[in-house]
Amino acid sequence: MVVAERKPIEEILEMIGDFNKVLLTGCKGCVTVCNAGGEKEVGILASALKIARKKEGREIEIDEITLERQCDPEYIDQLEESIAKNNYDAVLSMACSVGPQYIAKRYEDVLVFPMLNTSFIGGALEHGVWAEFCQACGTCGIHKFGALCPIARCAKSLLNGPCGGSSGGKCEISPETDCVWHLIYERMSRLGQLDKLGNVVMFKDWTTSRDGGPRKIVREDLKQ
């Protein structure tokens, strides 16, 4: 899933400046799963903002709505009623950064602000801890590395690691970061496939990654 976390309250307060009335929108997709921007987090942020503004002596009105998903135009339409009825100063999105962009596209004259920092494609390690597992390079080859991704999980994206900074199973950048190449080595060793790591992996073609420009998938079989 897309993993995100909420921006610091101070940054959000600065963004909303002296707005009097805003619409705060959550998303029931990935950001609900990673406890960043679901219905519950929308409620928490709305309360926090109201309290902060009350303290400053300038109260703010905040409407709350949580959409099925913000990465689908069909669900963005759910905002229609609220936006048409109210004269919001801005819409605040608690989805990953796709959400605010979809809202901006649908409502050309409405100010839109992101409430989250979209962090990575990853998963939970334990309750309250998430980690990155994929960099969306567009050409998955993790089977060559024991089904572990060195592009996303090695600090240097090495295809022929581990580098000289691997120490005690940890990466040189931090004792908190596993050396994925150490994990690859151990797994390939367990699978009896260590010999495969002995071959030089040649240059990666990055055209399917962000380097090839913004990406798009067209499925002719699904297009209408």
Partner 1 sequence: MKAGSNLEKMFAAGHFAVTGELGPPRGADAGHIHEKAKYLKGIVESVNVTDNQTAVVRMASMAVCRLLLDMGIEPNLQMVCRDRNRLAIQADLLGASALGIKNVLCLSGDHQKFGDHPQAKNVFDIDSIQLIAVLKKMRDEGKLINDHECEGIPQYFIGAAVNPFADPFDFRVTRLKKKIDAGVDFLQTQCIYNMEKFRTYMQQAYDQGLTEKCYIMAGITPLKSVGMARYMQKFVPGLDVPEDYITRLKGVDKKKQGDEGIKIAIEQIQEMKEMKGIAGAHVMAIEWEEKVEEIVSGAGLLPRPEVS
Note the residues at the interface with partner 1 (CB under 8 A): 155-169, 172-174, 179, 182, 185-186, 194, 197-204, 206
Q: How far is the CB of 147 from partner 1 (least distance, A)?
A: 18
Q: Rank residues 26 and 162 by Cβ distance to partner 1 and give the closer one.
A: 162
| Sequence-separated (6 or more) residues with CB below 8 Å from residue 153 | 132, 133, 178, 180
Provide the CA 173 distance to its chain's centre, in angstroms. Answer: 22
Question: To which residue do tokens 């963004």 refer?
Answer: 15
Between 17 and 168, name the residue whose CB sits nearer to partner 1. 168
Shortest CB 208 distance to partner 1, Å? 14
Residue 76 in contact with residue 107, Cβ under 8 Å? no
CA dihedral 154, 156, 161, 167 (to 10 degrees): -70
CA distance 14 to 160: 45
Q: State which residue, 13 or 183, has the beta carbon closest to partner 1.
A: 183
Least Å from the CB of residue 201 to partner 1: 8
Angle ∠(36,44,100) on CA atoms, nearest 5: 50
Q: How far is the CB of 181 from partner 1 (least distance, A)?
A: 8
- What 3-state class would DSSP assign to 91? strand
Report the residue number, 87 or 174, with the smaller CB distance to partner 1: 174
Min. distance of Cβ 1 from partner 1 in angstroms?
A: 25
Minimum Å distance from CB 190 to partner 1?
13
Q: Which is nearer to partner 1, 47 or 167 (CB)?
A: 167
Q: Which is nearer to partner 1, 113 or 181 (CB)?
A: 181
Residue 114 — φ and ψ, nearest 5°?
Answer: -85, 135
Locate all alpha helices (DSSP H) within the chain, ordered by sequence: 9-16, 30-33, 39-55, 73-76, 80-85, 98-106, 150-153, 180-190
